[in-house]
Amino acid sequence: MKNVLIKKLEHAKDLPLPNYESVSAAGMDLRAALEAPMTLRPGERKLIPTGLQMALPEGFEAQIRPRSGLAIRNGITMLNTPGTIDADYRGEIKVIAINHGEEEFVVEHGDRIAQMVIAPVKQFPMVEVDELDETERGDGGFGSTGV
């Protein structure tokens, strides 16, 4: 089992580490690490700090995704979902939240605002060619196989 190394910044010292909330959960919830509550007006987007820095094992990324409960109840989602955390990123993990709801939404210190899924990724060399091989699909896409 590979470890993810995680460091708490000062404003997250009192918060628990991200944790799988059920036995086979894909994601770990991320909490807002705030000195004061943050308000998202309808349509507004804000960068929410988590107070966490992380070192992922090589060959992995972390994806920052919305929580479905916040999305359905409050219209809160991540604008860039899935956000990408690179294995070599050592800065604070932050969440780009947007309020798609009709009501103001207040984020308090410690609120679980997003979830993080750690997934394998591969890097590939790009090789430029003049022609590509032919396939049955060819350039058909965007609904070409019907509904």
55 within 8 A of 112, measured Cβ to Cβ: no
The least distance separating ligand DUT from the CB of residue 86, rounded to whole angstroms, comes to: 4
Select 91 or 138, whichever has its Cβ closest to ligand DUT.
91
In the bound complex, what is the minimum distance in angstroms from residue 64's beta carbon to ligand DUT? 4
Q: Determine the interface stretch with ligand DUT among 69-77, 81-89, 103-111, 119-127 (rule: CB under 6 A).
A: 81-89
Q: Assess 93 for contact with ligand DUT (CB under 6 A).
A: yes
Which residue's CB is nearer to ligand DUT, number 58 or number 103?
58
- Residue 60 or 89: which CB sits closer to ligand DUT? 89
Nearer to ligand DUT, 91 or 141 (CB): 91
Q: HSE, CB side, 13 Å, CA atoms: give it for residue 41.
A: 0
Q: What DSSP string describes 62-89?
A: EEEE--HHHHHHH-EEETTSSEEE-TT-
Candidates 6-14, 28-36, 76-84, 139-147; binding stretch for ligand DUT (CB under 6 A): 76-84
Tokens read off for 138 = 């060819």
Nearest to 115 by CA among 74, 75, 71, 73: 71
Cα–Cα nearest to 96, from 81, 75, 74: 81
Instruction: List residues binding ligand DUT (CB under 6 A).
Output: 64, 80, 83-86, 89, 93-96
> Residue positions in the annotated binding site for substrate?
67-69, 80, 84-86
